[in-house]
Amino acid sequence: MILTVTLNTALDITYRVRELRPHGTHRVSEVTERPGGKGLNVARVLAALGHEVTVTGFTGGATGRVVQEQLAATPGVLDALVPVSGATRRTTAIVDELTGDTTQLNEPGPTVTPAEWTAFQEAYEGLLGGMSAVALCGSLPPGVPVGAYAGLIRTARAAGVPVLLDTSGEPLRRGVAARPDILKPNTDELAELTGSHDPLRATQDARRRGARTVVASLGVRGLLAATPEGTWHATPPARIHGNPTGAGDSAVAGLLSGLVDRLPWPDRLARAVALSAATVLAPVAGEFDRAAYEELLGRVAVTGDASAA
């Protein structure tokens, strides 16, 4: 069982329009809704790969009820969300069918009270028993301490559960010092953390700051991993065009899946890159195209040096 934590859960709404024009009126050709927030996206992909997943975080209000109803209909995903008095946020993606571009509108999330945060920490600690890995993903809702992820990392490490951190800003800076097993930033987040715009130097610097392994997302150039066993770069076979929403979350799912399946790092990275690319190709934001994933998996190029740890 894998645990994913989404403190700022959401209901993701995707609108498709023929052409997005500022100040214009648009006819929507298609609307989709599904549970969202980075950890829920990761959980859905893991479940589709055949893993059993428990999801936790916060849920509240009418939007939260919709999220939980849809989670109940997702095979392989167990709902352990913690209730709050505020309302779960909504995120809106508007897909321009003419260009393929996506415009994203993200609400901030409910304000979490100190009592609700304490209730979550107790629930989280109780869930860790029997977990093979935990992923801490996404932004913090208002009211949650900025060092929240650092504390959750320490709790997971004390329970002997490997932990992956995927966040940004000050929560990332504090979280890396708590020594997560895997840190998964993008290049901007990594540069903000380390001050370096050279991905290789920045991943090595982030390891020195506490992360055991750093897997940096390089966008269309794939993933760069600095691990105790070596350094590898995995790239897709060609530039992939489509909707990138959720591609990073699919990469996290690939890394977690490879971790629990005990794959060597080159195979973990190939799985993560193939899943990410297949997500860009999917018609619905945050889903992945299984046929594309299976076809791409054997064509991901992985280069590296096991002696470069």
301/255 Cα distance (integer angstroms)? 16
Active site residues: 249
Q: Helix crossing, 247-260 with 265-281: angle to 10°?
A: 150
Contacting residues for 60 by C-beta, under 8 A, at least 6 apart: 83, 84, 85, 86, 87, 88, 110
Q: Which amino acid is residue 229, in one-letter code? A: E
Strands (E) located in 194-274: 213-217, 223-227, 230-235
153: closest CA among 77, 78, 212?
212
How many Cα atoms are found within 13 Å in the side-chain-facing hemisphere of 285?
31
Strands (E) located in the chain: 2-6, 10-17, 28-36, 53-59, 77-79, 82-83, 89-96, 102-106, 133-137, 163-166, 182-183, 213-217, 223-227, 230-235, 301-305
